[in-house]
A and B are shown apart, each in its own frame.
Chain A
Amino acid sequence: MSGVSDRYERRWTIAILAALGALALVPLAPVRDDVLNFVFLILLSITLAQSWNVVAGYAGQVNLGHAAFFGLGALVTRTLWIRGLPIPIAMAAGAAVAAAFALLMGAPAFRLRGAYFAIGTLALGEILRSTVGNVLPEISTLPAASIAGYRLIHRYYLALALAAVSVLAVAALAASRTGLGMEAIREDEDAAEASGVGALRLKLTALVLSTGLAGLAGGLFAYYHISYYPAHAFSPTWTFDALLMTYIGGVGTLHGPVLGALLYVVLKEYLAVRWVDFHLLIFGALFVAIVLLLPGGLVQAAARLGSARKNP
């Protein structure tokens, strides 16, 4: 059984990496900047969704404070980068701070189970957002020299690399004993503990990996935007976006969040032409339907259709 699903996952990993590889060729053609910006958004969303998928999909811990880690990554990266550090080092520092904060918060937060963990982390995220909004109320704008040197193509390739990293990280996790242990916790934490899985350690591992990736995504956000309010990177919409994309695509699968992110960004941009934020009405309703009727998301729907065709 696991052999079959391993082969299935590997096929998806290769397919997604091939698609990302193809996207690397896009800037070679004479394309407009808005095309690159659009693909950038999809890639950032893939990283964000995949980062949430690690802790919520594999370890089964619905973290509603995810935006805090995205925001921390953005804040640290932006600060260090503007002070003159190279962007890779600044981003690594952002990811490290996000993951360190997760370790600090994780031990008390994981005393909570299920929905209580969810609302506890929601409150933690809001505490951070309010505090950052109070301490740093001013908009953060790049210095003139950096604006003059701004190249979209750098952001594009960085986003591409991060999306690939996040997919590879989840693929490696899914194939590992660690990932298997996380899935055991997701299915039944007490049973997992009873069969020798160290639940707290694995949940912390998942949280650190997840928030580290979220911190990188936040760093990318900070590198991409010329000006934004620091508190905006802590806005709960980052959590909600990640949750919607992951669940709609298929939570706890490798390719679900990728497809979810693609669908989400495409529909959001398409609808935004006429109705700003109208996509949330559709995705909110779709999300409710998926939780009630199709917990595996679109990936599960596709699998069902496929098997129905094979065995009529």
Chain B
Amino acid sequence: MRILAQQLVLGLMLGGLYGLAAAGLSLVFGVLKVLNVAHGELIMLGGYAAFFVVGLFGLDPFASLLLVVPLSLLLGVALYAGLFGFVVRASEETRVKNSLLIGFGLALSLHALAVRLWTADERSIITPYGGAVLRVGGLSIPVLRLTILALAFALIAALHLLLTRWRWGRAIRATAEDWEAALLSGIDVRRAYLLAFALGTALAGAAGTLVAIGYSVSPSIGLEWTLKALIVVVLAGLGSMIGTFVGGLVLGAAEALSGFTFGGPYREVVGLAIFVVVLVARPRGFFGR
């Protein structure tokens, strides 16, 4: 029983990161109707950026977010201007399909580039306080991963505030709701698209930083993180960032439970199976709100 509880604690802490990873994908898909399957590769790039920022400047690993997030924001602007900005001109159905294909090409290229630049080795950021553990009622809670969970939630909460309080945040939500109505009420829809995409990439960068601190990055983690994010988006639906975070926790807990029941290697299978079942059960409405 205690083992199960311990697994659940670890699963929930990983689940917070799933939520953060999914938030960026959900924002971009919800607003632009662009399915960026290179989202996991953007997380991977964020992880490497944090790794090198920490190595170069000797910053505290968590402080590297202050550099990685703005850098990711810029990358997002560049990707929108260079690639995804062209896709949003098409009708919605073509847009989803073409963005998927483009994301695919981008993912393959970024993966190959990362292998070329940084080799295929796994890396993670070593922290001086990495080994600290809280003991609560017989359970061990790694302080580092608890901090990561708290930060993931803080970032999602900040995004939520941004989308509800900030003028452009509301413009982004209005565009997601109905871009034609948004256009008619004087919102610069193109700019809302750009902002949403850049924010989504910044979230990926932040998620990557936390992945590199608490877990590890390698060029090939992209597909796995894209799938996790997709599963969470399917579970949580679009429209609520807090809901996405909860969806992440649910996936983390479900993986821990299934890992406990069927053995570690089947963790991945269960998440994917949930995904397929939900997808088939709600073929049109699953991305609805």
Instruction: Point out residues on A near B: beta carbons under 8 Å.
Output: 62, 108-109, 111-116, 118-120, 122-124, 126-127, 130-131, 133-134, 236, 240, 243-244, 247, 275-281, 283-288, 291-292
CA distance in complex: A277, B119 (Å): 11
Taking CB atoms, residues of chain B closer than 8 Å to A276 are 115
Q: Is A291 a contact partner of B98 (Cβ separation < 8 A)?
A: yes
* Chain B residue with the shortest CB-CB distance to A122: B227
Candidates B108, B223, B272, B276; contact of A287 at CB < 8 Å: B108
B45: interface (CB < 8 Å) = no
The minimal Cβ–Cβ distance linking A259 to chain B, given in whole angstroms, is: 19
Binary contact readout B244-275 vs A (1 if CB under 8 angstroms, 0 otherwise): 00000000000000000000011011001101
Q: Is A120 a contact partner of B97 (Cβ separation < 8 A)?
A: no
The minimal Cβ–Cβ distance linking A60 to chain B, given in whole angstroms, is: 9
Candidates B108, B115, B279; contact of A120 at CB < 8 Å: B279
Beyond A284-B112, A292-B86, whether A109 also contacts B280 by CB under 8 A is yes
Instruction: Point out residues on B near A: beta carbons under 8 Å.
Output: 35, 37, 83, 86-87, 93, 96-102, 104-113, 115-116, 223, 227, 230-231, 265-266, 268-269, 272-273, 275-276, 279-280, 283-284, 286
**Can you give 28 A-B contacts (C-beta < 8 A)?**
A62-B100, A113-B283, A113-B284, A114-B96, A114-B97, A115-B97, A115-B99, A118-B100, A119-B37, A119-B279, A122-B227, A126-B268, A130-B269, A134-B266, A240-B108, A244-B108, A276-B115, A277-B112, A278-B116, A280-B109, A281-B109, A281-B116, A283-B108, A284-B107, A284-B109, A288-B83, A288-B105, A288-B106
Q: Is A62 a contact partner of B97 (Cβ separation < 8 A)?
A: yes
* Chain B residue with the shortest CB-CB distance to A281: B112
Taking CB atoms, residues of chain B closer than 8 Å to A120 are 275-276, 279-280
Q: Is B269 a contact partner of A127 (Cβ separation < 8 A)?
A: yes
Taking CB atoms, residues of chain B closer than 8 Å to A118 are 97, 100
Q: Is B265 a contact partner of A133 (Cβ separation < 8 A)?
A: yes
The minimal Cβ–Cβ distance linking A18 to chain B, given in whole angstroms, is: 33
Chain A CB within 10 A, most for which of B96, B104, B227, B266: B104
Q: Is A287 a contact partner of B105 (Cβ separation < 8 A)?
A: yes
Q: Is B108 a contact partner of A284 (Cβ separation < 8 A)?
A: yes
Q: Is B269 a contact partner of A123 (Cβ separation < 8 A)?
A: no
Q: Is B112 a contact partner of A291 (Cβ separation < 8 A)?
A: no
Candidates A127, A281, A292; contact of B276 at CB < 8 Å: A127
CA distance in complex: A127, B268 (Å): 8
The minimal Cβ–Cβ distance linking A182 to chain B, given in whole angstroms, is: 17
Q: Is A291 a contact partner of B115 (Cβ separation < 8 A)?
A: no
Q: Is A236 a contact partner of B223 (Cβ separation < 8 A)?
A: yes
The minimal Cβ–Cβ distance linking A232 to chain B, given in whole angstroms, is: 14
* Chain A residue with the shortest CB-CB distance to B95: A115
Taking CB atoms, residues of chain B closer than 8 Å to A115 are 35, 96-97, 99-100
The minimal Cβ–Cβ distance linking B18 to chain A, given in whole angstroms, is: 15
Taking CB atoms, residues of chain B closer than 8 Å to A277 are 112, 115-116
Q: Is B102 a contact partner of A291 (Cβ separation < 8 A)?
A: yes
* Chain A residue with the shortest CB-CB distance to B234: A119
Q: Is B266 a contact partner of A130 (Cβ separation < 8 A)?
A: yes
Taking CB atoms, residues of chain B closer than 8 Å to A286 are 105
* Chain B residue with the shortest CB-CB distance to A126: B272
